[in-house]
Structures are given as C-alpha cells and as structure tokens.
Structure 1
Amino acid sequence: MTEPGTAETAAPRRIPLLVFAWLWVAAPFSYGVYRLIVNLLKLFQ
C-alpha cells in the first residue's frame, strides 16, 4: 500500500499506452462528429 501524502503518477512506460488508447477512441469519435456536422449542414440547406 502507498503511504498517505505521496502522489501517484503514471509510470513513464505507460504514457505511450495512454496516448494510444486516447487516440483509439478520439479519432473515430472526431470523425463521427465531423460527419454529423456535414450531414446536418446538408439537411438544413
């Protein structure tokens, strides 16, 4: 167990994994939002 008062941070070896995981989720989500906006603009023009 950790002692109280110590700050827990991600190990440096896990940072690339965290970046990859965020990109794995953010890239398709961003594309979906982009396509949604494009389709909404077509719908209301």
Structure 2
Amino acid sequence: MNSSGPSTPATTSPPPGRPPMTTSPANSTAPPESRRTGLIIFAWLWVGIPLAYGVYELVLKAAQLFTG
C-alpha cells in the first residue's frame, strides 16, 4: 500500500507541432449550454410549426367531412 498521499493525474503535452486539445471552440463567446438551448428551441420550432399547421388542416378537413 502506498501511503504517500493522493496521486495526481499525469499530464501529457501534445506532440510537437500540434496545439493542445480544448473542449470548446476558441472563438466561442457564449457558454455551450446557451448555444445548446437556442438550438433545441430552434429544432422544436422547426418541427412544431409545420406539425401545428398540419393538425389545424386535419381538423378543418375532418370538420368538412363530418358536417357535409
């Protein structure tokens, strides 16, 4: 058993001529969570607006079908 204390993770440097890896783009000013939230809202609108229009048209056609 090693009682010299907690071990620290080994750090390695990138190969020569290669920049270190990052977790986010360098030109990003917004935190990733807000970009993701905006993308999710956009995706829901992209799908939800045509879906709502389709349901609206369905209700109109069904009303015409059953009311003559």
Give the TM interval when normalised to the shorter protein: 0.7 to 0.9
Distance 1:38 1:23 in 2: 22
% identical equivalent positions = 47
Tell me the C-alpha RMSD between the 2 structures.
1.3
Which contiguous aligned blocks of 4+ residues in structure 1 show a shift greater than 4 angstroms?
A: none
Structure 1's unaligned 5+ residue stretches are: 1-9
Which structure is richer in relative contact order (CA contacts within 8 A, separation 6 or more)? 2
TM-score by length of 2: 0.50
Instruction: Name 1:15's counterpart in structure 2.
Output: 37
Equivalences, count: 36
Question: Considering only CA atoms, is the larger Rg found in Structure 1 or Structure 2?
Answer: 2
TM-score by length of 1: 0.72
Structure 2's unaligned 5+ residue stretches are: 1-31
Bigger share in helix: 1
